[in-house]
Each structure stands twice: as structure tokens, then as C-alpha cells.
Amino acid sequence: MNHGPLLFFGVLATLAASWLGLVAVPRQQLGTLDADLSTNAANVVVTHPPARSGEAAQGHAVYVSLGCAACHTQQVRPENGGSDVARGWGVRRSVARDYLRDEPVQLGASRLGPDLANFGDRLGTNAFNLVRLFNPRLVVTKSTCEGAPYLFEVRTLTGEPSAAALALGEPGREVVPKPAARQLAAYLASLSSGAELPEAPLPVKEEAK
């Protein structure tokens, strides 16, 4: 008996079903996703995810090129799926819309370091970020974070220190960030996904009694 046609349609149906499930349906659900517009307490329209400054957008490319995602994720798991929210890595789970400004998205796969999805809300002022990028051990004793010291110029101080130099208080030398260091620091400061979205409401806090 000739099973050719049966085999052909069987293979076709299998491929069609996976295309529908993996391409067509997700595309229909997420393909037209756009930034969320809402009005804040001061009656100003805010977008989420917020647009990044040019410097921060360039910093994203630096982050990608240095492979920081090897040790850092950018995805907050839902409250019933892990302890990310309890640890203070975010106020709600991450959703697809949070990544609209990222190309390529830096989800990360391993967490040797903390999740950075909301690093800007947590700690990240630019000056502090620069010191951490130059030498993480100046901020956290025994840190195993790689940092990016090669994005800084270390000069012997002869006259007045440069205005852009880090405030390390070391006599005789100064550390000046190169443009890529400033971009990366601005990117880290921009990391924030705490806004309430229709698909990701903030967890309701229990009323204090």
C-alpha cells in the first residue's frame, strides 16, 4: 500500500501546527505591542517603557558587547514563581512590554550576580555606577563582578584633576571614564520596569493595621 500521501499530510499538519503555535499566535498576541501611555499623579502623560536617552541607548550596545548577560539576568519572576520580588529586584513580574526598547533583549540565563531589570530604581546614580564599573571591589568588598576597567583612562596627576575624573580621593593619579563607560553607566541608571501596566498590575500591599 502507498502511504506517501498520508505521510506527506501528516508531516504538513505537524509543521503547520508548530508554525501556528510558535509563530502565528505569539505574533498575533504580541506583534502589535506598543508603549503604554498613562497619566501620573502630576497629570503628565508618561510612557512605559520610557524612552532612553541617546547615551543610555548606546550603553545598551556596550552592555551587549561586553557580555554582562553571562552573569546578570533582566527578568523578574512572578511572586508565586520565585523570590525575586521579595529580594527587592522589582515590584512586579517582568512582561513582554518591558523589553520594547531593547534590541537585542538581554534576558540572561544565569544569575551569578543580581538581576538588573530594576537596577536604576535600586541604586544606580551615574557617579556610583562609574566607580562600580571601574572597580566593583571599591563598592562591594570581595565582589566577583567583572566591571569594565578598560573603559577608563588612568592618568598620573600632574596639575589640576580633570572635571570628569572619578572622586576616588587617590593622590597622584586620576581615573577618567571613556565615552563607553559613561554610556554603560547611563544605561544601568535607566534600567527600570516598575511601572504599573494593564497586563502587570502591582501587587496589592496589605493595609497596615
Neighbouring C-beta atoms of residue 79, cutoff 10 Å: 13
Q: What is the dihedral of CA 57, 155, 126, 119, to 10 degrees?
A: 80
Q: Which is nearer to ligand HEC, 48 or 60 (CB)?
A: 60
Q: Is the peptide bond before 49 cis (omega within 30 degrees of 0)?
A: yes
Q: Which is nearer to ligand HEC, 92 or 118 (CB)?
A: 118
Q: Which is nearer to ligand HEC, 53 or 143 (CB)?
A: 143
Q: How far is the CB of 139 from ligand HEC (least distance, A)?
A: 6
Backbone angles phi, psi at 89, to 5 degrees: -80, -5
CA 58 from centre of chain: 13
Measured distance CA(169)–CA(162) in Å, rounded? 13
Q: Which is nearer to ligand HEC, 36 or 57 (CB)?
A: 57
Q: How far is the CB of 64 from ligand HEC (least distance, A)?
A: 10
Measured distance CA(86)–CA(114) in Å, rounded? 13
Binding site for ligand HEC (CB under 6 A): 63, 66, 68, 70-72, 112-114, 116, 119, 122-123, 132, 136, 140, 143-146, 148, 184, 188
Q: In which residue are the cell numbers 600632574 written?
A: 158
Q: Which is nearer to ligand HEC, 166 or 184 (CB)?
A: 184
Q: How far is the CB of 147 from ligand HEC (least distance, A)?
A: 6
Q: What residue number has its CB nearest to ligand HEC?
A: 113
Tell me if 188 sits within 8 A of 126, measured CB to CB: no
Q: How far is the CB of 134 from ligand HEC (least distance, A)?
A: 11
Q: How far is the CB of 160 from ligand HEC (least distance, A)?
A: 30
